[in-house]
Structure 1
Amino acid sequence: MRNTVFRKLMANEFGQVRGEMIARDHVMSGLGGRTADEALEAGFPAKEVWLAVCDAFDVPAQRR
């Protein structure tokens, strides 16, 4: 998964503004205490970051 696909999934699931806020501000234990943006910058695969967001926000399986 590319970062652009990750951003599109975030916007589709949470809305553009809220998706950006979550990626920037929400620290997730599934990402080692990082935000999504920090995890992507640290080299985590975008798919792994997306799945961590899905777990943190209980995104239904059909939208993962």
Structure 2
Amino acid sequence: MRITELRRRLTAHFGPDWAPSYSKDFVIAELGGQSVDQALEMGFDPAEIWRAVVKNNPDISNELK
């Protein structure tokens, strides 16, 4: 998965206003206590980040999973 696809999915689920805030501010345990943005900066694979987001947001639609 490319970073652009990760961002697209985040925006599709959280909306254009909330997705950037979620990426910057929400800390995910599966990412070592890092936010999405921090995990990307550290070199985490975008697919791994997305799996962690899905695990923490079970209401994400099947189309985005």
In the superposition, the TM-score normalised over structure 2's length comes to 0.90
Aligned length: 64
Secondary structure at the residue paired with 1:58?
coil
Structure 1 gaps of 5+ residues are none
Q: Distance in 2 between matches of 1:4 and 1:12?
A: 12
The residue that corresponds to 1:57 in the other structure is 57
Partner of 2:22: 22
Name which structure has the greater RCO, CA cutoff 8 Å, separation 6+.
2
Aligned CA-pair RMSD: 1.2
The list of structure 1 runs, each at least 4 consecutive aligned residues, that deviate by more than 6 angstroms after superposition, is none
Q: What corresponds to 1:32 in structure 2?
A: 32
Question: What is the SS of the residue equivalent to 1:34?
Answer: coil
Structure 1: which amino acid aligns with 2:2? R
Query: In structure 2, what residue type is equivalent to 1:51?
Result: R
The separation in 1 between residues aligned to 2:3 and 2:59, in whole angstroms, is 19
Aligned identity (percent) is 33
